[in-house]
Amino acid sequence: MSTATITLRSTSGLTDAVRSEWTKLWTVRSSWLNIVSAAALTGLLGLQFGFNLAYDNTHLEAGETAVRQGVGEFGISVVVIVQVVVAAFALLPVTSEYATGSIRSTLQWTPVRRNVVLAKAIALAPVLFLYGLSMAGIASVAGGLAAGEWADWSGGALVADLVSVGFYLTLAGLFAAGLAWVIRSTAGTLTAAFLFLLVVPMMLSQSTLRPLVWTAALLPGGAGQNYLTGATDPLSPTWSAIVLLAWAAVSLILGTRTLTHRDT
C-alpha cells in the first residue's frame, strides 16, 4: 500500500516571490487608478505646455525670435511635475500592506526578508520604465499637437527623451519604494518623496550660493532634472545618472536593513 505525500511549498524563493509581487501589483485597484489619473494629468499638462509655446511664438515682443521645440521636451517638462504620482505608484505596494496588515502574510510566505524587498523592486522596475515611457509619450504627443508648427517631431531626439524619462522614473520610483520600507505610512512616504524629488531641489537650485546649488544637484530630484535636461552645471548628465543610481540603491539597502531588524 503506497502513501500519497502532499508537499506544501512556500514562496520563500526569490522567483516565486517576484511572481507573487507581480500578481499583487496588478490585482489592486489603486495601481490602475494611479495610472489612469497620471495619464489624464499628463495629457492635460502636455496640451498646456504646447499651447503656451504656440502663444509665445505668435505674440512676440520686438527683437524676440520664434523658437521650435522638440516634442520630447514637453514630456520632460511634464514628468518633472507628474513624477510624484509615479512615486506614489511605487510606494503603495509597500505601504498598503502595512496599512492592511497583509505584510504579516507576505513575510510568512517569504521568510527571507531581503527577498521581499528585492522581489518588489524587481516587479516594479520594468513597470516603472514602461510607465515613464508611456507618460512621456502622452505628454510629447499632446504638447506637439497643441504647439502645431512650432513642434519638432525629430524621431531620434524623441526616442532619446522618452528613454531618459523611463530611466529616471524607474530610479525615482525605486527610491520611493525604499523609503516606504523605512517610513511604512503612505502619507509619510509620499511627503518625503515629494520633498526629495521636487520641492527641496527646486528651491535650492534657484539659489545664488554655489553650495546650495551643489546640494540640489546631489539630491535625487535635482540630479534627475539635470539628467533629463542635459545640463552640465554643476554635474554632467553622466554623473547625474550615477547619483540617481546611488540614491535608489542606498534607499533599497536601507529599506532592507530596516525590514530585517524591525519587528513587524
pLDDT value at residue 6: 34
pLDDT value at residue 262: 80
10 Å CB burial of residue 59 (0-12, 13-18, 19+) is: exposed
* Average pLDDT by stretches of 10, the chain with 264 residues: 39 82 92 95 96 92 86 94 94 94 90 93 97 96 95 93 96 97 95 95 92 95 94 93 97 96 73
pLDDT value at residue 4: 38
**Domain residues of the chain, as ranges?**
14-261
pLDDT value at residue 12: 52
Using omega within 30 degrees of 0 as the cis cutoff, is the peptide bond preceding 234 cis? yes
Q: What Cα–Cα distance (Å) separates residue 41 from each residue in 47, 113, 115, 262?
A: 10, 36, 34, 38
Q: What are the grid coordinates assigned to 20, written together?
A: 507573487
Q: What Cα–Cα distance (Å) separates residue 79 from each residue in 8, 94, 177, 244?
A: 45, 23, 18, 16
Euclidean distance between CA atoms 5 and 76, whole angstroms:
57
180 near 188, Cβ under 8 Å?
A: no
pLDDT value at residue 9: 45
Grid look-up 539597502 returns 253
